[in-house]
Structure 1
Amino acid sequence: MVLAVALGGSDAAAQQSIIDGWSWSTLVPSIAQTDILGTHLRELRNEQERRTTPPPDVSRLGFTPSKARRSANLAAFVDKTRAVDPNGAADLQRLFAEGDIIERIAAAIAPVGLRTDNLADVYALWWITAWQATRGDNDTLGRDMYAAVRAQSAKALNGAGGPARASDAGKQELAEALLVQTALIDAAVEQARGNPARMRQVRAAVAKGARGMGLDMAGMEITGGGFVPNGKR
């Protein structure tokens, strides 16, 4: 919910953009290797059976952000969106003109122990936010849950290879695409509160988009130890 607050007055436009689905297909760069978290989810049961695993190395997933790259990334997001959804592009442009959205997100997520300059943190935030959205929820969870999903994300991203080996520029592009997407999802859920029909649209749109990222949100639940399979398919 803190992300919706960070977006200020842009939530109505953000909600419609999420429902239209433009952000899922246009923002995330190819280095995301969108099957990695889905593959990791399928391996979770075996992981639980082993019970103990070494802590993941999150240092390979950090990067030094550049303000110039950020400006270029946000402009590119608008351009990519304009090709498929001019109205969505205009919404994004207005949102970005209100101030540095990444800095606003960084301030909003710091209290739960997450950062915007590490892919493990960003993936964890996106994963949790999208999962909650498919349940019509955007409550802030405890730090232990964010930390557990951060560890899961780090393992998956390191295992995929590409994201960990990417340049700072590549990592920043992926992180900022996911952060923008996360903020829009959170805002869409917040705006749909009290409107069951609209909330169903948001839930369905986010579930569909998550499947495109390799995740079946209906097949998992979150615990203090992170995401676990729930047997639903």
Structure 2
Amino acid sequence: MPTRALLTLGLAFVLSQPASAQGLGGSASGLSSSIFKLMNQVGASAAQSAGQTITTQPPETAVPAPLVKPAALTFKVSPQVRQKTIDTFVAQISQASPESGAEWNKVFKGADVFAEIDKQVKTMFGLSTTNLADTWAVYWSYAWLMTRSSTDDPTRAQAVGLRNQFQPLLLSIPAVATYTDAQKQEMSDTLLLQVVLFGTLAEAWKEDQASRDEFGTGLISGTREMGLDLSAVVLTDQGFSVKK
């Protein structure tokens, strides 16, 4: 598989600055806390809108019948919503590590990070960053790999298979039709920024197995709060499959 093409974007933007990797990496426990706070915001937003937890547990048998149209998963990008998401992301990182927060702030001020993310998602997976099913697939595929201490990208087939699995699950929730563009974008943008952070951590810890393992263990616990036990599934070309 290719080597973290999408995930190293954040690091690539600032490699010209001294000690960037060290500043962007930080401690496993500190940055785990930042990511889990951001994850909780995504989960809370989904639950508030749906009146329930969006459970991404892999289906064992039949796929739920769609209750809303696929267009309900897409959204128009608002620069104001995007900036709010970036500000929240930097603030959370800064709480764990002011040095890392300052580095990320430079990244966002010096480059259009989301334009590059969009380009890479389309090139690598043929997916869209303005569709919730697509961005959930990108996020969960990389999250699963992080729990395995893997420094690979998912394959195109794995990402598309996961999108095909998530789309009917999301569309089976009636409240999805009530999501505003702002709600969908905030959820999507937050997940994509976590994906970029995953890559920066993977690069910073490429020689630090202990930190990768610690982070992966914490990620399993944190993602359970969003409705999916990553330790109980394997990623296939058809999406997640429950371990036998």
TM-score for both structures, normalised by structure 2: 0.79
Match of 1:45 in 2: 60
> Are residue 2 (structure 1) and residue 14 (structure 2) matched?
no
Q: Percent identity?
A: 25
Deviation at residue 89 of structure 1 after TM alignment: 4.1
Runs of 4+ in structure 1 over 3 Å off: 9-15, 76-82, 88-92, 160-164
> Are residue 230 (structure 1) and residue 230 (structure 2) matched?
no
SS in 2 for 1:3: coil
Deviation at residue 15 of structure 1 after TM alignment: 3.5
> Are residue 61 (structure 1) and residue 73 (structure 2) matched?
yes
Equivalences for 1:84-233 in 2 at 5 Å? 84-85=95-96, 87=98, 89-111=101-123, 112-231=125-244
> Are residue 77 (structure 1) and residue 92 (structure 2) matched?
no
Give the Cα–Cα distance (whole angstroms) in 2 for the partners of residues 17 and 110 of structure 1: 32
Match of 2:37 in 1: 25
Which range is displaced more, 209-218 or 168-177?
209-218
Counterpart contact for 2:7–2:195, Cα < 8 Å? no
Q: Which amino acid aligns with 1:97?
A: K
**Structure 2 CA distance for partners of 1:92 and 1:58, relative to 1, 3 Å:** farther
Deviation at residue 31 of structure 1 after TM alignment: 2.3
**Structure 2 CA distance for partners of 1:81 and 1:139, relative to 1, 3 Å:** closer
Counterpart contact for 2:121–2:127, Cα < 8 Å? yes
Counterpart contact for 1:4–1:11, Cα < 8 Å? no
Q: Which amino acid aligns with 2:75?
A: F
Counterpart contact for 1:122–1:179, Cα < 8 Å? yes
Q: Which runs of 5+ in 2 are unaligned?
A: none
Provide the aligned C-alpha RMSD in A: 2.7
Please state which structure has a larger fraction of its residues in helix: 1
